[in-house]
């Protein structure tokens, strides 16, 4: 086609790969190099699936970093600080008590404590920002959320190493009990939130989302101090599988996204009431538009639903390998199905029936309770094949 070129000069977006800059490429090369290094060093400990997971993870992380640029920096800091801490350990677990940096900053437990503290402070800051509208406080809140997330990841990665220091046969990815997955829950929820915060350029949903994270932190601390849950324990045979590395994180993207949607639902309902009572009021003015919150809620549930579907299917595949059947109506399995059906119905109502407004928001809030029951309630109240993380 002979279209005069000058017409096309209007800033057409170049294809995606041409938009990548030098930092993107260095980032990708570092990740690839890192995974090749890990492969060379530890391939003796990995089976074929785990090698696949290693490189798959590297590729996914590259993709995430390319699409959402701040992730590159986050990953960089996490990697550097975790490696620093792991290096301080050497082969001696006792370093956790003797070394200053480990003891006060970067041992698995210390980093987790920092994460907890930062999340709580970020929550306060978001609330201050919400009520005062002070932009600087908002920025601080965001920074603290990023820092908390980094600390959470560092805590988990260092803990991963610590499990191996307990004994080569004890070593395992730290997503094996309720303590560890609560950390995972907090940081994944925070990450999803940070993504939307940037995308929609508003901080006024932060207070609500961080509230659910703070609740998780409260539980985490109680669990840590009352039940000694931070202790590293070896895995029961049923959990020794590469499936854990993909099944659990996929699940927590689901849980995190659902929790986020529910908290946006709360904000939506508050705004809805406020607008009706006093459209010019402070509350109505400070919260984002109903339209936008509806959109975030829907996007988040869609994201959660997609990952939760994958997680459930992975769970079924794992069950087929460990328990002798891909579906046994075990309470955890069944509750996953309930959660899934609930959000399937939600999505149908919104997309097919065109349902909008407070009803959907209420439904998303109720969905959190259903999710919560599947997450912790099943472990507390019901017995079954899945009762690994007991209270």
Partner 1 sequence: MNKPNKKHSRLDIILEFFGSMNLAITILVAIAFASVIGTVLQQNQPYNDYIIKFGPFWHEVFQTLGLYNIYGALWFLALLIFLVLSTSVCIYRNTPIMLRDMQQFRLNVKEKSLRLMSNTQSWTTEKKAEEVEKIIQHFLKLKGFRTRIKDHEDHRVIAGMKGRWNRSGYIFTHVGIIVLCIGSFLDGGFGLTIKEWTGQIIPETRDIRADKVPKISRLKPQDSISFRGSISLPEGGSSNIVFLNVRDGYLVQELPFAIELKDFRVEHYTSGMPKSFESDLIIHDDQLDEPLEQTISVNHPLIYRGYALYQASFGDGGSNLTLRAWPFHSQKLQTLDIDIAVKENRSLNTLFGKYRLEVDDFKMFNIFPNTEEEKAVTGKRFKNFGPSFTFKVRDASGVANEYHNYMLPVTQDKRRFYLSGMRSTVAEPFRYLHIPADNKDSLDRFMAFHALLHDPIRAKRIAQDSVKAAMSDVNKTDKKLQDDVVNSMMNLLTLFNQGGYSAIERDIKNKVPKDKQVDVAQAYVKILQNLLQNTYIALLKQEGVETEKDVSDFDNQFYEDAISAFAGIGAYGSPVYLQLADFKHRESSGIQITRHPGQNIFYLGCLMLIIGIFMMFYISYQRIWLILKPENGQLMITFAGSGNRNQRDFAVEFEQLKSHAVKITS
Q: Judged by CB under 6 A, does residue 199 bind ligand HEM?
A: no
User: How far is Cα 257 from Cα 210, in angstroms, rounded to an integer?
Assistant: 13
Concatenate the DSSP letters of all residues of 223-239 into one string.
HHHHH-TTS--PPPGGG
Task: State the residue for tokens 């955890």.
Answer: 332
Q: Judged by CB under 6 A, does residue 316 bind ligand HEM?
A: no
Interface of this chain with ligand HEM, residues 346 to 375, rule: CB under 6 A = 347-348, 351-352
Q: Name which position in 316, 365, 372, 376 contacts partner 1 (CB under 8 A).
A: 316
Q: Which of 96, 217, 116 is nearest to 158 (CA)?
A: 96
Task: State the residue for tokens 């003796």.
Answer: 44
Q: Among residues 69 and 356, whose Cβ is nearest to partner 1? A: 356
Q: Judged by CB under 6 A, does residue 29 bind ligand HEM?
A: no
Give the number of other CB atoms < 10 A from CB of residue 115.
27
Q: Which stretch binds partner 1 (CB under 8 A): 79-87, 110-118, 163-171, 188-196?
A: 163-171
Task: Give the nearest distance from C-beta 144 to partner 1 in angstroms.
Answer: 29
Q: Name which position in 146, 335, 363, 375 contacts partner 1 (CB under 8 A).
A: 335
Q: Judged by CB under 8 A, does residue 198 bind partner 1?
A: no
Which spans in 106-242 are helix H?
Answer: 108-132, 135-165, 178-200, 206-227
Task: State the residue for tokens 């003891």.
Answer: 103
Q: Which two tokens stand for residue 233?
A: 């324990």
Task: State the residue for tokens 């995430």.
Answer: 64
Task: Give the nearest distance from C-beta 46 to ligand HEM in angstroms.
Answer: 34
Q: Judged by CB under 8 A, does residue 387 bind partner 1?
A: no
Task: State the residue for tokens 């939307």.
Answer: 196
Q: Among residues 112 and 300, whose Cβ is nearest to ligand HEM? A: 300
Q: Which of 73, 81, 79, 154 is nearest to 113 (CA)?
A: 154
Which positions touch partner 1 (CB under 8 A)? 1-3, 7-8, 10, 12, 167, 169-170, 233-234, 236-238, 240-241, 243, 291-292, 295, 298-299, 302-303, 305-306, 309-310, 313, 316-317, 320-327, 329, 331, 334-335, 337-338, 341-342, 344-345, 348-349, 351-353, 378, 382
Q: Give the interface with ligand HEM as residue ranges (CB under 6 A).
A: 302, 344, 347-348, 351-352
């Amino acid at each position: 086609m002979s279209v005069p070129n000058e017409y096309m000069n209007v800033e057409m977006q170049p294809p995606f790969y041409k938009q990548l800059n030098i930092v993107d490429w260095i980032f990708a090369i570092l990740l690839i190099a890192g995974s090749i290094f890990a492969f060379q060093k530890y391939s003796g400990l990995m089976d074929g699936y785990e090698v696949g997971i290693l490189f798959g993870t590297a590729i996914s992380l590259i993709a995430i970093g390319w699409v959402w640029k701040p992730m590159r920096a986050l990953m960089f800091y996490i990697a550097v600080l975790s490696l620093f801490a792991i290096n301080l350990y050497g082969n001696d677990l006792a370093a956790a008590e003797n070394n200053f940096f480990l003891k006060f900053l970067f041992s698995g437990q210390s980093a987790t404590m920092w994460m907890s503290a930062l999340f709580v402070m970020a929550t306060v800051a978001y609330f201050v920002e919400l009520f005062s509208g002070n932009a600087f406080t908002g920025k601080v809140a965001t920074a603290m959320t990023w820092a908390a997330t980094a600390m959470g990841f560092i805590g988990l990665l260092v803990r991963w190493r610590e499990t191996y220091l307990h004994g080569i046969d004890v070593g395992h990815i730290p997503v094996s009990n309720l303590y560890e997955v609560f950390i995972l829950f907090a940081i994944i929820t925070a990450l999803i939130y940070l993504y939307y915060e940037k995308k929609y350029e508003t901080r006024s949903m932060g207070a609500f989302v961080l509230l659910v994270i703070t609740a998780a932190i409260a539980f985490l601390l109680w669990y840590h101090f009352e039940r000694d849950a931070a202790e590293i324990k070896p895995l029961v045979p049923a959990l020794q599988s590469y499936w854990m590395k993909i099944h659990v994180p996929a699940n927590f993207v689901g849980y995190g996204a659902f929790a986020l949607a529910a908290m946006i639902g709360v904000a939506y309902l508050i705004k809805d009431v406020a607008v009706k009572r006093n459209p010019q009021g402070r509350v109505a003015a400070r919260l984002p538009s109903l339209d936008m919150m509806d959109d975030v809620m829907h996007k988040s549930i869609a994201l959660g639903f997609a990952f939760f579907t994958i997680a459930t299917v992975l769970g079924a595949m794992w069950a087929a390998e460990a328990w002798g059947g891909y579906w046994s109506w075990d309470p955890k399995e069944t509750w996953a199905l309930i959660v899934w059906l609930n959000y399937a119905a939600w999505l149908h109502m919104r997309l097919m029936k065109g349902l909008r407004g407070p009803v959907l928001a209420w439904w998303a809030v109720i969905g959190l309770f259903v999710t919560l029951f599947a997450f912790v309630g099943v472990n507390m109240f019901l017995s079954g094949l899945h009762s690994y993380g007991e209270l």
